[in-house]
Amino acid sequence: MNINKNDVFTVRIEDMGSEGEGIGKSEGFTWFIKDAIIGDVVEAKAMKLKKNYGYARLLQVLEPSIHRIEPKCEFHRQCGGCQIQALDYSQQLLFKQNKVSNNLKRIGGFENPNVLPVIGMENPFYYRNKAQFPIRQDKDGSIITGFYAGRSHTVIANTKCYLGIDANETILKKIIRIMEENHISAYNEETGTGLVRHVLIRAGFTTGEIMVCLILNGDKFPCEDKLVENLREVEGMTSISINVNKKNTNVILGDKVRTLWGQDYITDYIGAIKYQISPLSFYQVNPIQTKKLYETALDYAGLSGNETVWDLYCGIGTISLFLAQRAKKVMGVEIVPQAIEDAKNNARINGITNAEFYVGKAEEVLPRKYKEDGEYAEVIVVDPPRKGCDETLLDTIVQMGPKRVVYVSCDSATLARDLRYLCDRGYETVKVQPVDMFGQTVGVESVVLLSRTEGTPRADYN
Ligand code: SAH
């Protein structure tokens, strides 16, 4: 190959990598080109060369792919948020189905995995119920907010993100105006000075309730009354609060919250279950798709009302409470104590009495409950973070031998690894249902049904 660094060349994009980058080949050399999509012919500049592959920067699209569309957001290339906005939505769903399928083949060694078509969104924009906007000062001293440029902490000024709700823009403009009129400073990450760090906005999609929380590098906002007076005008405003974070860290929220006006929380529903969400609590960011994801998990659990079910990595108990509607008993396990408090509270406000929650590591609590208390399960649900399940946990699942395991995953690579482990020890993967929770991005969630193939399940009511 006779292309050197900084050379400009032309290539046809034949595939897309798991991070959404376009992949093209010329003279046996493979190019990875961000923002190029399958089917494009592009002009690109060589940036980094390795032995038989390299990275190049997209200069222009010479022949657009039939799947290329005009992105809504003018910042889609700089912003780190959306990687595949230029790909039409039906192709985004195909891309995600292939990503899951390829990982199951390549990492899991499954020859022909039964990966179903992705359950997509009706509207793949405006779906996020939560946004955290950094507040900064630009070179001219003006207050700006926007998004971090990919892999950096440089803020691109932009109050309009097409993944979030319309009210975000109204709220941000009001806050910026109040800050400018009253000479209130924005936080500076390098010096650790300045007051306003972030604005957190959350919305309950089924209730229309909105929460605003200002994260401050200090205890007080200088004109809190004016802030409340202005923000109250926004339709649906239910909770206005201050969160204090004086630490020089990347972590957005501190642990103290003071409500300035309204309630301490907003309420939202997923299906029939009600959740109270405070600034600090975890809650799924796309509640519409979450409902589809959890309905699939509930369907795969195949409950008749007599079962004992374990929900591992249960967070605030979202899946547990869904399952509790159809099981005899649900036991949730989660490592974060505050999330378990929320789970218990959510059970209480929904009148659910057959769910119990334990704080601890799933890989410690489940083995202990099994060995010491003889606990069992007809169905076990797991929803681990990206790194997947610990082997100790998978071993305990195999020993307990539930009839079905439902694996909810946000990372199909670790999913593939864990499915292989379980399938070498008496389970089979029946089906894999990806669900799109994050349109325009390369993220994909999956729900997998595993069924026991060896021996008789310990307790079988069905
Ligand atoms: N099922 C939950 C969210 C799961 S996200 C819901 O629907 O809301 C993964 C969760 O696993 C997070 O809440 C995280 O705090 C928790 N977690 C991480 N490591 C864990 C471990 N070793 N044991 C138990 N929980 C863990």
The predicted pLDDT at position 455 comes to 66
pLDDT of residue 27: 83
Integer Cα distance of 460 and 342 in angstroms: 32
In the chain, the percentage of residues whose pLDDT exceeds 70 is 98
Nearest CA to ligand 1 atom 19: 335
Q: Which atom of ligand 1 is nearest to the CA of 336?
A: 15
The atom of ligand 1 lying closest to the CA of 362 is 23
- pLDDT, residue 209, reads 98
CA of 290, closest atom in ligand 1 = 7
Q: Which two tokens stand for residue 389?
A: 């399940």
45 CA to centre of ligand 1 in angstroms = 42
Taking alpha carbons only, the member of 415, 419, 402, 421 closest to residue 444 is: 415
Taking CA atoms, 42 is separated from 22, 56, 325, 357, in Å, by: 10, 11, 53, 54
Chain segment 47-104, per-residue pLDDT in tens: 999 999 999 999 999 999 999 999 999 999 888 789 999 999 999 999 999 999 999 9
Across the chain, what does the average pLDDT equal?
94
> Given a cut of 60, is residue 276 above it in pLDDT?
yes
3-class SS letters over 127-191: CCCEEEEEEEECCCCCEEEEEEECCCCCEEECCCCCCCCCHHHHHHHHHHHHHHHCCCCECECCC
Q: How far is the CA of 320 from the centre of ligand 1 (A)?
A: 12
Confidence band (pLDDT; 50, 70, 90) for 459? Answer: very low
Q: Is the pLDDT at 201 greater than 80, yes or no?
A: yes
pLDDT (0 to 100) of residue 147: 87
Residues having CB closer than 6 A to ligand 1 are: 282, 284, 313-316, 318-319, 333-336, 339, 361-363, 383-385
* Average pLDDT over every residue of 13-35: 94
Nearest ligand 1 atom, CA 390: 22
Q: What is the mean pLDDT of residues 379-387?
A: 97
Residue 407 has pLDDT above 90, yes or no: yes
Protein residue whose Cα sits closest to atom 1 of ligand 1: 314
Of 213, 223, 410, 423, the catalytic one is 410
Rounded Cα gap, residues 319 and 316, in angstroms: 9
- Ligand 1 centre to CA of 343 (Å) is 12
Predicted local distance difference test score (pLDDT) of residue 461: 38
Residue 460 has pLDDT above 70, yes or no: no
Catalytic status, residue 223: no
* Cα 131 from Cα 366, distance rounded (Å): 35
- Region 341-361: mean pLDDT is 97
Q: Tell whether the model's pLDDT for residue 18 goes beyond 80.
A: yes
Nearest CA to ligand 1 atom 3: 315
Residues 26, 453: Cα–Cα separation, whole Å = 47
Atom 22 (ligand 1): residue with closest C-alpha?
361
**Residue to mutate (ligand 1; options 291, 313, 346, 415; most atoms within 8 A of CB):** 313
pLDDT over 70 at 457, yes or no: no
Nearest to 58 by CA among 38, 33, 78, 80: 33
Share of the chain above pLDDT 90, in %: 90
Round to whole Å and give the CA distance between 420 and 389.
12
Relative to the CA of 294, which ligand 1 atom is closest? 7
Distance of CA 29 from the midpoint of ligand 1 (Å): 41
Burial of 197 (0-12, 13-18, 19+ CB in 10 A): buried
The residue type at 451 = S
Task: Please report the pLDDT score of residue 456 as a whole number.
Answer: 53
When computed from its CA atoms, the radius of gyration of the chain, rounded to whole angstroms, is 24
Q: Can you tell me the distance from the alpha carbon of 390 to that of 418, in angstroms, rounded to the nearest whole number?
A: 9
Please name the amino acid found at residue 10. Answer: T
Tell the burial category of 436 from Cβ atoms under 10 Å away from its Cβ (0-12, 13-18, 19+): buried
Residue 356 has pLDDT above 80, yes or no: yes
Cα torsion through 267, 269, 274, 276, rounded to 10: -30
Q: Which residues of 154-185 are buried (b: 16+ CB within 10 A; e: fewer)?
A: ebbebbebbbbbebbeebbebbbebbeeeebb
Q: In this model, does residue 243 exceed pLDDT 50?
A: yes
User: Is 390's pLDDT higher than 90?
Assistant: yes
Count CA within 13 A, CB hemisphere, residue 114: 9
**Interval between CA 150 and ligand 1 midpoint (Å):** 27
With 0.85 as the threshold, say if the pTM is over it: yes
| Minimal-distance CA residue to ligand 1 atom 5 | 385
Ligand 1 centroid–CA 3 distance in Å is 47
Strand partners, 381: 311, 406
- Do 436 and 444 meet the contact criterion of CB atoms below 8 Å apart? yes
End-to-end CA distance of the chain: 63
Question: Among the listed ranges 114-128, 264-278, 329-343, 443-457, which one has the minimum average pLDDT value?
Answer: 443-457
